[in-house]
Copies of this chain bind each other. A is one copy, B any other.
């Protein structure tokens, strides 16, 4: 059957993935504020995406304070694209209202 990747499908993670899909890189603060998430929530979701190999996490220093950036991996980008296509198929089914019978 139609496989919707639950790692990606979860709303918060879908938003993270979609956001990362539109930029080269995004940092923690940016994601927290634009997506309106608590820090803990973002942290654990992004962790799942990293474990799945969909997001690459890069830690560095911005002066003295730590600075974490996120980016889609090629695998993540591919998985996201596939996810949109799967949703397309579902949607197509939903629109083809069959003529009576």
CB within 8 Å of B: which residues of A? 1-2, 4, 6, 9, 11, 14-15, 17-19, 21-24, 35-36, 80, 84, 87, 90-91, 93-98, 100
Give the chain B neighbours of A100 by CB distance below 8 A: 24
Since A4-B14, A18-B91, A80-B94 are in contact, a sample of 20 more A-B pairs with Cβ atoms closer than 8 Å, ordered by chain A residue number, is A1-B35, A1-B36, A2-B15, A9-B9, A9-B11, A14-B90, A17-B94, A18-B90, A18-B94, A19-B93, A21-B95, A22-B93, A22-B94, A22-B96, A22-B97, A22-B98, A23-B97, A23-B98, A84-B91, A84-B94
Number of copies: 2
Most B-side CB within 10 Å, residue of A9, A17, A80, A90: A90
